[in-house]
A and B are shown apart, each in its own frame.
Chain A
Amino acid sequence: MAVPASGTARPSSTILQAAYGGILRYPLLVALAAVIVLFSLASPVFLTAANLQSILVNNVTLLVIVTIAMTFAVAVGGIDLSVGTAIDFASFAFVSLVLAGQPVGVAALAGLASGALVGAFNAVLISLIGISPFLATLGTLFIGRSLQQILTNGGNPVYLPPAGVPEAFRFLGRGTLAGIPVPLVIAGALILVATLVFARTRFGRVAIAIGIQPDVVRYSGVASRAHVAVTFILVGLIAAVAGLILTATVTVYIPSSGNAFLLNAIGATFIGTTLSPLGRPNIPGTVLGVLLLGIVANGLLLTGLNFYWQQVGTGTLIFAVLALSFARRRHAKA
């Protein structure tokens, strides 16, 4: 084994360098692996099938759907603060129509349409009037809150009486397909479709291009404003799916409850975006971001730490991950 003399001193440092480079390149996977190792050492329960399923069902399913919606908004260089509004409107329409005796399918379609309507309102503000997405969706969020107050006589929840829950409704929230919970199946399908949209469709490609350099898209003779409009409608529609599942699971509509997802969805989207090799919004990154948040929340609980440390943990994690990724960008530029 002839090792060049000059090389003998190096291996440890090159391994360190490679490790450092790896962390910089795939920080999300590294972070996820580290967190999983940490928690499986800390708690014997963590790596059990039951717990992993619990993570997926309780911490991931709904958030991943909302975050996919957010990823589309971020892909075109925007943000959507009104995803919760779309969730609420879908939920309200769904519950109200089921309560009124409409077939579950009709009610679900109406729910999806309500979410898309919220998106369409944003689309008009953003693409037609030219308001920045942050402000436009902030306005929508506020108007949506008040509308829900009006619709519910001051914020009363709309319950579905236990006796009156149709089978299809129950199936959507609690049913299983081949042993897998239906919400998880839907989330999985959405992940696949959204991944395909970004990787393999013209729509996804143009959306990404708009997010990177909108002027070039316009100067290339591509209808960028129409693309942005469709994207925001799509965001409302996807968020509405989360609204339907949420309602079917808890069999109640509580006004303005959709907002609970907002900040985690933004956080997970940007974790996935800033930590991807090209720094673009992307579905795998989004999914990993949601998993990371979900695992940390679950793991902190399992390790016996006080429930309230969850938020500190996830917040610190998001902060650290963002700081790391911005440091990586500087590293890449230098």
Chain B
Amino acid sequence: MTLPAHRPGAALSFSAIVKHFDGAQALAGASLTVPRGTVHGLVGQNGAGKSTLIKLLAGLHQADDGQIEIDGVEHRTLTPHLVETLGIHFIHQDRLLVPTFTVGEALFLGREPRIAGTPFLDRRLMQRRAADILDDYFGIRIPNSALIRDLSTAERQIVQITRALLDQPKVLVFDEPTAALVRREADILFRLIRRLRDEGVTILYVSHYLNEIEALCDAVTVLRNGRDVATLPLAQTSASEIAGLMIARDIGEMFPKRDVVPGHDILKVHGLQLSGKYHDVSFSLRRGEVLGLTGLLGSGAKDVLRTLFGLDQADGGTIEIDGQPARRLDPVRAAQRELALVPEDRRRNGVALDMTVGENLTLSSLKQFTRFGFLETARERGEADRLIARLEIKTAGRDALVRTLSGGNQQKVAIAKWLSRHSQIYLLDEPTVGVDIGSKVEIYRLIGDLAERGAGVIVLSSDLTELVGITDRILVLFRGRVIRAFASAETTPEAVLAASTGSSEVLRHVG
């Protein structure tokens, strides 16, 4: 493999970056150096600090400590505007394009060409240049009249990348760019990235897909627990070594030991299907069991959880709760059938930030504290206080707004609101994202506690160490299907990671 000649020196250099959010440490002295004109990979499990690092670079947050150098110049405070003038552009997961614009309008918004000598937009020129650029870089054609909202996710992403290219960037940061791309489109993207590198653009490439990193990058930095644990040239490493580095080994004692004999099946899913999301998903969950669910973005794992709680309707298959079929579930019926969901987007769906801790804690069980429609406030308050004490929720009191709580304590509220409803099946979606280490352990303990009391728990997590540590079994979804099942006691995070990235090569090395 011949590396292209590139100018020496670093385009980006982070050293010893520290960043806290709500008391939780997101970065604990991470360093990263990206040489000019290279494709540099950045990997790590969820919560390792990747996205925090990217946000610091984008000027969206400021580091608590450490140095950021861009093109050899140290910058104490970065703003989004400054970053852009320095020639750094980001391809985000959420695409900032106006849905009712045509491709030409979306590409040229803010730098619209005018018909010479008039104040009017040169729509024809916009369309022609848009078509030319898309054809040149990606070899694709999008009709001039197509609106952004009519495009596929991949096409939108291509438009966004093209927007960045129009600024002739020096550094391009890709944040999980291929999660939504089909194979053909990803091929196009890879070709483009190599071409840009050959033209001298520096590329920072964040991805979960180790095989992509292996195929595309010149070097890779692995983050773990907010630190960089290694930076390796790809010529001297392999996907399996990277996988090994991503997974921490020193926190085994975080996971409480449980001694539960699982009871009878409380949830049975057979042949569940939702077209475009997942197919033929079958499994069962027993009382006292903690079942892990994992898969990359778009694997369908999250959609299975949504379907179980009735947020989406399956096209086919059956769900049985406690031996009784559950048809046409919606969240109200799901809750009546003793299901509980702790959603991933805690601040939007899990807790009402501008309501009090007490109000949140009884929101889903309010009927129990109601007589003839009237709230029995004394009992309600008692229950709130009991839950605050039992889960050790750190708050000024039940009348404090949930907004004032730390992420970990907000999450405890999101879980606790189901406890007084005596839910029997808990669906936890990424329960420890954005949660400090202390609260994490408490949440693990709580999960174990629920299982010991005979509930069934499904944990969806992309933190595989956690998943292996706290579950009894793990199902891995890939491309909408359950492709592997593991007994947690007999597997390793590496093996689960290999299965979820679809990398059979890693599997051979580790497994």
Direct A–B touching, Cβ under 8 Å: yes
A residues near B (Cβ < 8 Å) are 200-203, 205-206, 208-209, 212-213, 215-223, 278-279
Say if the beta carbon of B373 comes within 8 Å of chain A.
yes
Q: Judging by beta carbons under 8 Å apart, are A209 and B377 in contact?
A: no
Q: Judging by beta carbons under 8 Å apart, are B373 and A216 in contact?
A: no
Q: Judging by beta carbons under 8 Å apart, are B363 and A209 in contact?
A: yes
**Bound form: Cα–Cα A206–B369 in Å:** 13
Say if the beta carbon of B30 comes within 8 Å of chain A.
no
Say if the beta carbon of B229 comes within 8 Å of chain A.
no
**Bound form: Cα–Cα A206–B339 in Å:** 20
Q: Judging by beta carbons under 8 Å apart, are A200 and B377 in contact?
A: yes
Say if the beta carbon of B192 comes within 8 Å of chain A.
no
Q: Judging by beta carbons under 8 Å apart, are A202 and B332 in contact?
A: no
Q: Mark B315-342, 1 if CB is under 8 A from A, else 0.
A: 0000000000000000110111001110
CB-CB under 8 A for A201 and B331, given A212-B355, A213-B354? no
Say if the beta carbon of B232 comes within 8 Å of chain A.
no
Q: Mark B331-364, 1 if CB is under 8 A from A, else 0.
A: 1101110011101000011111111000110011
Q: List 15 A-B contacts (CB under 8 A).
A: A200-B374, A201-B373, A203-B373, A205-B359, A209-B355, A212-B352, A215-B348, A216-B352, A217-B352, A217-B363, A220-B331, A222-B332, A222-B335, A222-B363, A223-B332
Smallest CB-CB A-B distances: 7 pairs? A221-B335, A220-B364, A213-B352, A202-B370, A219-B349, A216-B352, A223-B332
Q: How far is the CB of A176 from chain B (nearest CB, A)?
A: 32
CB-CB under 8 A for A216 and B349, given A201-B373, A202-B367, A202-B375? yes
Q: Judging by beta carbons under 8 Å apart, are A219 and B373 in contact?
A: no
| Interface positions of B from 445 to 499, Cβ below 8 Å from A | none
Q: How far is the CB of B243 from chain A (nearest CB, A)?
A: 34
The interface residues of chain A lying within 8 Å CB-to-CB of B417 are 220
> A222: which of B340, B350, B364 is its contact (CB, 8 Å)?
B364
Q: Judging by beta carbons under 8 Å apart, are B373 and A202 in contact?
A: yes
Q: Judging by beta carbons under 8 Å apart, are B363 and A278 in contact?
A: no
**Bound form: Cα–Cα A217–B343 in Å:** 12
**Bound form: Cα–Cα A217–B351 in Å:** 9
Say if the beta carbon of B24 comes within 8 Å of chain A.
no
Q: Judging by beta carbons under 8 Å apart, are A209 and B352 in contact?
A: yes
Q: Of A201, A202, A212, which is in contact with the most chain B CB atoms at under 10 Å from its CB?
A: A202
Q: Judging by beta carbons under 8 Å apart, are B332 and A201 in contact?
A: no
**Bound form: Cα–Cα A278–B359 in Å:** 13
Q: How far is the CB of A333 from chain B (nearest CB, A)?
A: 11
The interface residues of chain A lying within 8 Å CB-to-CB of B366 are 202, 205-206, 222
B residues near A (Cβ < 8 Å) are 309, 311, 331-332, 334-336, 339-341, 343, 348-355, 359-360, 363-364, 366-367, 369-370, 373-375, 377, 417, 421
**Bound form: Cα–Cα A35–B369 in Å:** 42
**Besides A213-B355, A220-B331, 12 other A-B contacts (C-beta < 8 A):** A201-B374, A202-B373, A209-B352, A209-B363, A212-B352, A216-B352, A218-B331, A221-B332, A221-B334, A221-B364, A222-B364, A278-B354
CB-CB under 8 A for A220 and B363, given A213-B352, A213-B355? yes
**Bound form: Cα–Cα A203–B372 in Å:** 11
With CB as the reference atom, state the residue of chain B lying closest to A210: B352
**Bound form: Cα–Cα A221–B311 in Å:** 10
Q: Judging by beta carbons under 8 Å apart, are B375 and A201 in contact?
A: yes
The interface residues of chain A lying within 8 Å CB-to-CB of B354 are 212-213, 278-279
Q: Judging by beta carbons under 8 Å apart, are A219 and B350 in contact?
A: yes
Q: How far is the CB of A180 from chain B (nearest CB, A)?
A: 27
The interface residues of chain B lying within 8 Å CB-to-CB of A203 are 373
The interface residues of chain A lying within 8 Å CB-to-CB of B353 are 213
Q: How far is the CB of B412 from chain A (nearest CB, A)?
A: 15
The interface residues of chain B lying within 8 Å CB-to-CB of A201 are 370, 373-375
The interface residues of chain B lying within 8 Å CB-to-CB of A205 are 359, 366, 375
Q: How far is the CB of A330 from chain B (nearest CB, A)?
A: 16
Q: Judging by beta carbons under 8 Å apart, are B359 and A219 in contact?
A: no
The interface residues of chain B lying within 8 Å CB-to-CB of A200 are 374-375, 377
Q: How far is the CB of B345 from chain A (nearest CB, A)?
A: 9
The interface residues of chain B lying within 8 Å CB-to-CB of A206 are 366
**Bound form: Cα–Cα A218–B359 in Å:** 15
Q: How far is the CB of B410 from chain A (nearest CB, A)?
A: 12
The interface residues of chain A lying within 8 Å CB-to-CB of B374 are 200-202
Q: How far is the CB of A173 from chain B (nearest CB, A)?
A: 31
The interface residues of chain A lying within 8 Å CB-to-CB of B359 are 205, 209
**Bound form: Cα–Cα A125–B374 in Å:** 29
The interface residues of chain A lying within 8 Å CB-to-CB of B339 are 221
**Bound form: Cα–Cα A212–B401 in Å:** 12
Q: Of A201, A219, A279, which is in contact with the most chain B CB atoms at under 10 Å from its CB?
A: A219
Q: How far is the CB of B328 from chain A (nearest CB, A)?
A: 14
Q: How far is the CB of B341 from chain A (nearest CB, A)?
A: 6
Q: Judging by beta carbons under 8 Å apart, are A216 and B375 in contact?
A: no
Q: How far is the CB of B319 from chain A (nearest CB, A)?
A: 16
The interface residues of chain B lying within 8 Å CB-to-CB of A219 are 309, 311, 331, 341, 343, 349-350
The interface residues of chain A lying within 8 Å CB-to-CB of B364 are 220-222
Q: How far is the CB of B305 from chain A (nearest CB, A)?
A: 12
**Bound form: Cα–Cα A219–B363 in Å:** 10
Q: Judging by beta carbons under 8 Å apart, are A215 and B349 in contact?
A: yes
The interface residues of chain A lying within 8 Å CB-to-CB of B370 are 201-202
The interface residues of chain B lying within 8 Å CB-to-CB of A213 are 348, 352-355
Q: How far is the CB of A157 from chain B (nearest CB, A)?
A: 40
**Bound form: Cα–Cα A219–B343 in Å:** 8
Q: Judging by beta carbons under 8 Å apart, are B331 and A221 in contact?
A: yes
The interface residues of chain B lying within 8 Å CB-to-CB of A208 are 355
Q: How far is the CB of B504 from chain A (nearest CB, A)?
A: 37
**Bound form: Cα–Cα A4–B343 in Å:** 54
With CB as the reference atom, state the residue of chain A lying closest to B351: A216
**Bound form: Cα–Cα A206–B377 in Å:** 14
**Bound form: Cα–Cα A223–B370 in Å:** 16
CB-CB under 8 A for A216 and B363, given A201-B373, A201-B374, A209-B355? yes
With CB as the reference atom, state the residue of chain A lying closest to B371: A202
The interface residues of chain B lying within 8 Å CB-to-CB of A216 are 348-352, 360, 363
Q: Judging by beta carbons under 8 Å apart, are A220 and B375 in contact?
A: no
With CB as the reference atom, state the residue of chain A lying closest to B353: A213
**Bound form: Cα–Cα A215–B348 in Å:** 7
Q: Judging by beta carbons under 8 Å apart, are B355 and A220 in contact?
A: no
With CB as the reference atom, state the residue of chain A lying closest to B335: A221
The interface residues of chain A lying within 8 Å CB-to-CB of B335 are 220-222
**Bound form: Cα–Cα A279–B353 in Å:** 13
With CB as the reference atom, state the residue of chain A lying closest to B334: A221
The interface residues of chain A lying within 8 Å CB-to-CB of B375 are 200-202, 205
